[in-house]
Amino acid sequence: MLKFSAIGLDHRHIYHLIGGLLDAGAECAGYWTGTTDPRVVEGVQERFPSLNAFDDRTALLEDPSVSVIVCAAVPAKRAEFAVEAMRAGKDVVVDKPGVTSFAQLEEVKRVAAETGRIFSICFSERFVVPAVEVARRLVEEGAIGDVIQTMGTGPHRLNKGIRPSWFFEADQYGGILVDIASHQIDQFLVFTGSKDAEIVHSHVGHFGDSTSADFQDFGEVLLSSGARRGYIRVDWFTPDGLPTWGDGRLVILGTKGTIELRKYLDIEGRPGTDHLFISDQQGTRYIDCSREPLTYFKHILADVQDRTETAMRQEHVYTVSRLALEAQATADKRRQV
C-alpha cells in the first residue's frame, strides 16, 4: 500500500487531497501542523481524526515509506515545498496553482527532470467533479461532434471574514487568473484535445467595495488553439444568498451538439450537485452525474507505482501553469470607475 503525507495545510483544498488518496486506497503517514490558518488544521483533525500530526515536516520528508507528498500551502510557497519534496525522493500532488511565477515553473520543471519525480496539480474543478468525468466520456465518444469552443465560469464566494491575510496579497496568491482560471484553462485544453494554446486577451479588475483596490476580484481570458476558442470568467462575487460557494459552469460547444455542466447546483431546480444537460440532433436530455466515480486519485497512485502518466501528462501540467502565468502577466488591468 502506497503511503503519502500532507505538508502545507493553509487551504481547505487539502481536505480533498487527503480524502481522495485515502479513498483510492493509499495510507496517510501523517501531516505537518505548520499553517497560516489554524482552522484548516482543525478541519483536518475533525475529518481525519486518526491521522498522526507532526510538528516537524522533516520527519515526513525523510520517511522512506512515504512515496507522495500532498500540499495546499500558501500558493507562493507550493513550488518551494514541491521542490523540497522531489529532492527528498517523493512524488508531489499540489493544489492549484502549483506555481505563482515563471521562475518557480522553470525550477519545478528542472528539479522534476533531474529527480525523475512526478509534479501533479489537482485541478479540482475537473478532478473532483463527477459531472466533468461524464462530460469527458461523452466528448470522447463523439456525442457532440468536434468541440469548437468551451465557456467556463468560476465564481467564488469571498468569505472575507475567514480568509487569512495572504489571500488578499497578489504576490502570495498569484493573481486571480493564476489562482482560479487555471481550472478553466485545463478544461479548455482537455475538451478541445489541445496540447497548447495562445492567450488572445486577458483582463483583471477590482469592482467590490469590501476589499482593497489592489485585490483582483474579476478576471477573464480569451484563448485559442488553432480554430478552437475558449472564454473564461472568474470572480469573487458569489452572493451570500446562493446555497453554495459558487455556481460553476462549463459549456462545451460541438459541431453536433452542446453540453452544459452545472457543477455545484441547479439554481431553482434539481437538488444536489453535478448536473449535465446535453442537446444534440435527437433532442435534449439531463444526466445526474453525482454518482459517477472519480478517477484522478486512483490514476495518480498507479502513476506513482508504474511511472506512467495516466492521471495527466506531465507536459500538460506545465502548459496549464504557463498559460495561466501568461494570462496574468499580460492582463489588461482596469479599475471600477
Instruction: Note the pLDDT tens digit of each residue in 171-181.
Output: 999 999 999 99
For residue 320, tell me if it sits in a domain.
Answer: no
| Total domains present in the chain | 2
44-68 pLDDT, tens digit each: 999 999 999 999 999 999 999 999 9
240, 155 in Cβ contact below 8 A?
no
Query: What pLDDT, on a 0 to 100 scale, did the predictor assign at position 250?
Result: 98
Residue 301: DSSP 8-state: H
> Which pLDDT band, with edges at 50, 70 and 90, does 334 fall under?
low
What range defines the domain where residue 216 resides? 126-294+327-335
Task: Provide the grid cell at 265.
Answer: 447546483
| pLDDT at residue number 73 | 98
Predicted confidence (pLDDT) per residue in 91-149, tens digit: 999 999 999 999 999 999 999 999 999 999 999 999 999 999 999 999 999 999 999 99
User: What residues contact 38, with CB distance under 8 A and at least 6 apart?
Assistant: none
User: What are the distances in angstroms from CA 35 to CA 9, 148, 190, 229?
Assistant: 5, 43, 33, 40
Question: What is the DSSP pairing of strand 218-225 with strand 228-235?
Answer: antiparallel
Confidence of residue 337 (pLDDT cuts 50, 70, 90): very low
Select from 250, 236, 123 the least CA-distant residue to 182.
123
Boundary-marking domain end, from 72, 97, 122? 122
Does residue 114 share a domain with residue 142? Answer: no
Name residue 310's amino acid.
T
Residue 318 forms part of a structural domain: no
Is there a single domain that holds both residue 185 and residue 161?
yes
Domain identity same for 109 and 176:
no
* Domain end position, chosen among 122, 139, 168: 122
- Which candidate, 321, 243, 314, places its Cα nearest to that of 92? 314
Q: Where among 122, 140, 161 does a domain terminate?
A: 122
Same domain? 56 vs 133:
no
| 317 falls within a domain | no
Tell me if 71 is assigned to some domain: yes
What percentage of residues in the chain have a pLDDT greater than 70?
99
Query: What number is the average pLDDT over the span 282-304?
Result: 97
Question: CA-CA distance, 278 to 258, in Å (whole number)?
Answer: 6
Mean pLDDT of the chain: 96
* Residue 147 located in a structural domain: yes
The proportion of the chain whose per-residue pLDDT surpasses 90, expressed as a percent, equals 97
CATH number of the domain at 179, please.
3.30.360.10
For residue 286, what is its C-alpha cell? 439531463
184-199 mean pLDDT:
98
Q: What CATH number did the domain enclosing 25 receive?
A: 3.40.50.720
Q: Which helix (H) or strand (E) holds 318?
A: helix 314-329
* Whole-prediction pTM: 0.96
